[in-house]
Amino acid sequence: MNVINIQSLNPEKFGSRRVGHKKQNKQQLDLFAEGKVLQLHSQSVFEEALMLDEKGNTEEACRLYHKAAKEEEHAADAYCNLGILKCREGKMAEAVHFLTLGLKHNPRHLEAHFNLANLYAETGNLKLGKLHYEVCIKIEPEFTNSYFNLGLTLAAAQKYEEAIEILKQYSERVSPEDGKDATDMILKLQLMLNSTPKCG
């Protein structure tokens, strides 16, 4: 029996997706690109927590994420980022707790679903990992890491045909260079599928 080990496959695809600053619309002109940015107001509690988190000051970031969530300021984002920090500490039950609190505040929170999917897949709960990746794809069809990770999860569950189909969808959405890992994986899965004895 051939089993795919998720940890041995392109580990950078798996991993947390922190909720950060909202990106500017690229179609919008940046009229102040050459100007100086003046801080007209202090940072929000969530923004402060994010800044500390990005600098590696996790203890203070945790405290401020808790405060932001309690004050209902980007609560889903704050809980999601708390979940990531707990996951990095190896506190999986707490990580699930905070990520699901994020979903309680926003059931369509992409990052919370994606991080839960990664957590479940990495700890061997492939069914729940699969479910959350599928939800990610429904929420944001252009977020390609969901397809790739779902393909790996399906392969680990020995659902090779489904894995091949999802990895093909991933390859169609990314550049040939970015799709190389998926193409290699598809070839391996096709070989495994062809070498698996058919029953009946």
> In this model, does residue 108 exceed pLDDT 50?
yes
Kindly tell me if the per-residue pLDDT of 45 is higher than 50. Answer: yes
Instruction: Please give the residue that has the higher pLDDT: either 177 or 33.
Output: 177
- CA-to-CA distance for 129 and 135, rounded, in angstroms? 10
157 contact partners, CB below 8 Å, separation of at least 6: 126, 127, 130
Rounded to a whole number of angstroms, the CA Rg of the chain reads 20
Q: 127 vs 29, which has greater pLDDT? A: 127
Tell me the pLDDT tens digit for each residue of 119-160.
999 999 999 999 999 999 999 999 999 999 999 999 999 999
| pTM (2 d.p.) | 0.80
Q: And the tokens for 35?
A: 């100007």
Quick: pLDDT tens for 61-87.
999 999 999 999 999 999 999 999 999
How far, in Å, CA of 109 to CA of 74, rounded?
Answer: 11
What is the distance between the alpha carbons of residues 58 and 18, in angstroms, rounded to a whole number? 13
